[in-house]
Structure 1
Amino acid sequence: MSPRRSYDQYCSAARALDAVGDRWTLLIVRELLAGPRRYTDLHADLPGVSTDVLASRLKDMERDGLTTRRRMPPPGAVYVYELTGRGRALLPVLQALGEWGAPLLADRRATDAVRAHWFALPLLRSLEGLGEGLVQVCLDEGEFHVRLGDTDGPVYGEGPAPGEPDARLLLDTGTCAELGRGGLTVRDAIRDGRIVVQGEAPLAKSLRTP
C-alpha cells in the first residue's frame, strides 16, 4: 500500500482532502451511498477508472476508515465494499459539491457517460421536506429509488424500489438536471406536468396536492 500523501497542514480542510481529495475517491463514495457494491459493479459504474487505481483507492479508503470489505453469505459468497458511518457522513459534502457543480450541467457533452442513479443525490436534495418514504424514479436512462427521511442505511439504490414504493416519479433527464441546478422545484415540475406522480400512498397523494 502506498504511503499517504499529505498537505502537511494543521487545517481541517487540508486534513479532509488528505483523505478524500484524491481523484475518484468521492465518486466511489457516491456509488457506495447506494449500499454494498461488488468491485465489478463499482468498476462498471465508474467509467474511465483503471482497475489498478480503483483497487488502490479502495485500499486507501479502508485504511482511512471510510469503507469496509466483507464477504457475503452463500449462495453469493462474493466480497462487497460498503461505507462506514464516517463514510456515510460524506453525504452532505457530496450534495453541496453537486449543488455547486450543477450549473456546469447546462450542456451535455458527446463524451459524457451517464447513469440514471447519478441523479439520485441532487433529486434527493430537491425532495427534502416534502415527506418521508420510498420513492421510485423512472428516467429515460433507467430507474433508481431514494429514501426520504432519516435513515441509517443507503439513501438511494439502483433499479426498481424493493417492495412497493410510496410514490413513483416519471420524468425526463432534462427535468431532473434542471431540478439539480435549482432552476425548477419539484412542486412546479409536478404542476406543469413535467413530473408524473403515481401511487396512492400518503406521500404520493401529498406530492400531487398543490
Structure 2
Amino acid sequence: MKREYGQFCGLAVGLDVIGERWTLLIVRELLIGPARFKSLLENLPGIGPNLLTDRLRMLGEHGLVEQTSVADDGRARLYRLTEAGQELRESVLALARWGLKFLDESDTAGATRAEWGFLAVQALVIDEAVPEVDETYEFEVGDQTFQILVRGGKVSFERGSVAEPALTISCDAGTFVRVGARILSPFQAIATGDVRVEGDPGAVLRCSLMLGLS
C-alpha cells in the first residue's frame, strides 16, 4: 500500500504523488525527452523493472505521464510527460540547483550522463544575467551536443548542433557536473584541458555570467 501523509496541504499532497523514491528521477529522464521503457531502465541503474513499472503506472494515474506508440515499431511504447508533468520542470531544476551545493568529489564515482549535466546547466541560468544579444552557445558533452539559445532576453534549450555558434564548450559529462557543482572551477578545467572553449571572448564572458560561473 502506498503511504500518504493525510494532510490538507498542497506540499503534502504533491509529495504523495511524486515523493516516492525514484519518481522524480523518472520525471528528470522524461524532461530530457520521451523515452522507451528499456531506455528508462538503462538510464536509472538500480531501479528494477517492477519498480519502474509501478512508478510509471502511478504517474500515469495522476495524469503526469502518458504512453504513445513508436512510429517504426507498433508494439513499442514511448513514455512522455503530459502538460501537467511538464509543469514540474521549474521545480525539478530548482531542486537540482539546490542539490548541486551538496555534491563533492566522493559522489563522482556514481553514474552520470551528458543529459544530466545539461539539465544542471539549465538549473544554473540566472534570469537577471541573460544577455540582451541574440546568440547561441553550443555544448559538446561526451557524444551529445546541446544548445543554449538566447533570443530577445529569453533562454531556450535544444539538442543538436548549429552552424555558427557564438561559443562552443567541449568536455566529458563528469567534468560538466563538477564545474556546475563548483567542485572544479572553469579556470582550472580550461587550464588542465578538461574543458575546451572556442568562440568570441565576449560570448564566453556573457555565458559565464549567465550561468554564475564567472
TM category, shorter = 0.7 to 0.9
Give the whole-Å Cα distance in 2 for the aligned partners of 1:164 and 1:174. Answer: 26
- Cα distance, 1:32 vs. partner? 0.6
Mapping of 1:24-173 within 5 angstroms? Answer: 24-73=22-71, 75-77=72-74, 78-109=76-107, 112-128=110-126, 129-130=130-131, 135-139=137-141, 141-148=142-149, 149=154, 155=157, 157=159, 161=160, 164=163, 166=165, 167-173=167-173
- Tell me which residue corresponds to 1:176: 176
Any gaps of 5 or more consecutive residues in structure 1?
A: none
Taking the aligned partners of 1:4 and 1:132, their CA distance within structure 2 comes to 48
Q: What residue in structure 1 maps to residue 203 of structure 2?
A: 207
Partner Cα distance (2:189, 2:197) in 1: 7
Partner AA of 1:138 in structure 2: E
Report the AA paired with residue 11 of structure 2.
A
Whether 1:10 and 2:8 are equivalent positions in the alignment is yes
Q: Which amino acid aligns with 1:86?
A: A
Query: TM-score, normalization: structure 2?
Result: 0.73
Which structure 2 segments of 5+ residues have no match? 207-214
Displacement after TM superposition at 1:171 (Å): 3.0
Contact kept, 8 Å, 1:136 with 1:165, in 2: the verdict is no
TM-score using structure 1 length: 0.74
Residues 39-82 of structure 1: CA deviation (Å, up to 9, x unaligned): 10111100011100001100110111111101022x23321000
Query: What's the secondary structure of 1:7's corresponding residue?
Result: coil
Instruction: Please give the alpha-carbon distance, in whole angstroms, between the structure 2 residues aligned to 1:138 and 1:14.
Output: 39
Higher relative strand content: 2
The alpha-carbon deviation at position 107 of structure 1 amounts to 1.6
- Closer, same or farther in 2 for the Cα pair 1:106/1:190, shift >3 Å? closer
Q: Cα distance, 1:173 vs. partner? A: 4.8
Paired residue type of 1:143: Q
Q: 1:93 to 1:5 in 2, by over 3 A?
A: same
Q: Is the 8 A contact 1:70 1:79 kept in 2?
A: yes
Change (3 A) 1:80 1:164: farther
What is the letter of the counterpart of residue 196 of structure 2?
V
* Alignment: residue pair count: 195
